[in-house]
Structure 1
Amino acid sequence: MKPLSALPLRQHNHQHCINDALKQAKAIAEHKDLRFTKQREQVLRLIWQSHKPIGAYQLMDALADATGKQVAPPTVYRALEFLLEHRLIHRINSLNAFIGCPCPGESHAGQFVICRRCGIALELDEASIKAPIQALAASVGFLIEQQSLELSGLCPTCQVSAEGESEHG
């Protein structure tokens, strides 16, 4: 399991995240003979610009700001569908938003911790969680096709901030 002090929870250069994500996406597209269009690249770049999930309409606004022209919703949704289909991003259902996948192209259960205060999200990869959930589902005859676990709370930075506020409030 990745520790909670992992990369997104401390200050760092997001450009490295963006560059790695684009490099991996281009490699996957080339390997699978897929078209990684400029629009798809721009959407992926915007998703990786921070470690906060971003919604489709926020993406449309950001693309309009970057290109100087309005972007139609179907254009963004097609790019998101492509990125989801090829496991380059994840959908955070509770927020109706998207976040970059640090292990693109690999099939894995999504486990996310999401800070309700600052909005940062971190994908965890703990295999030991998947088996009991599948066993529980199987016990009632259910076959899980996709698994995503979203946990909401406070990141370490926001915990410290909340403690400071409660001491002064």
Structure 2
Amino acid sequence: MIAQESGRGAQGLATDHDHGKCIATAMTRAESLCAQRGVRLTPVRRRVLELIWRSHEPVGAYAMLDVLRLEGFNAQPPTVYRALEFLTEQGLIHRLESRNAFIGCPSPDHPHQALYLICTQCGTVEEREETPALTAALADLAQQSGFRIIGRTLELTGLCQTCQTAQSAA
């Protein structure tokens, strides 16, 4: 299921978060970046990206497929997976390995190594850029073991500030 703009996905967000503006900004940025790069943001790709941005929770491919079909797109799983692959290649979304789901990237205009803070209670995900110190520490740890890093996904699970506050108040 895909959370609505005012639904569960907003629980872990700051109370002053304007989710409508968040979505509009993400879509405008995506259209601009695709135009600059000379690639097409087709109607299906655009709608998949909108569905991902409707929530700050990870969204699975089959949840998107269900919505696309309800909206009259003649979508099959390969259609959705091709759209997700394109959006990932363009840096507009990220795949959360532990959830086999996708989230929107808040800073797609520059390459970066991200880490994800995943709230186990409300499901929100916050993307943070890795610091140089963390990158160096991970490289050092791998080197100590004679390990060559070829890729990584750093996902941390816990409770967001909103859920911690709610737990304390209960």
Relative to the length of structure 2, the TM-score reads 0.84
The aligned residue for residue 82 of structure 1 is 86
- Which of 141, 147, 157 is matched with 2:162 structurally? 157
The aligned residue for residue 130 of structure 1 is 135
The aligned residue for residue 5 of structure 1 is none
In the TM superposition, structure 1's runs of 4+ consecutive aligned residues that sit over 4 Å from their partners are none
- What's the CA shift string for 1:106-158, capped at 9, x where partnerless? 22112010000110000011312111112222333433333321000111121
- Which of 95, 99, 105 is matched with 1:95 structurally? 99
Q: As a proportion of its length, which structure holds more helix? A: 1
- CA RMSD between the two structures: 1.9
Do structure 1's residue 44 and structure 2's residue 49 form an aligned pair? yes
The aligned residue for residue 116 of structure 1 is 120
Equivalent pair of 1:110/1:147 in contact (CA under 8 Å): no
- Between 1:9-18 and 1:38-47, the stretch displaced more is 9-18
- Between 1:142-151 and 1:74-83, the stretch displaced more is 142-151
SS in 1 for 2:56: coil
The aligned residue for residue 9 of structure 1 is 13
- Which of 135, 152, 156 is matched with 1:147 structurally? 152
Work out the CA distance in 2 between the residues paired with 1:26 and 1:14. 18
Do structure 1's residue 33 and structure 2's residue 35 form an aligned pair? no
Deviation at 1:19, TM superposition (A): 1.3
Work out the CA distance in 2 between the residues paired with 1:97 and 1:38. 21
Equivalent pair of 2:45/2:87 in contact (CA under 8 Å): yes
Amino acid at match of 2:99: L
Deviation at 1:55, TM superposition (A): 0.6
Relative to the length of structure 1, the TM-score reads 0.84
Identity %: 45
Deviation at 1:69, TM superposition (A): 5.0
Work out the CA distance in 2 between the residues paired with 1:56 and 1:111. 21
Structure 1 gaps of 5+ residues are 1-7
Work out the CA distance in 1 between the residues paired with 2:160 and 2:74. 35
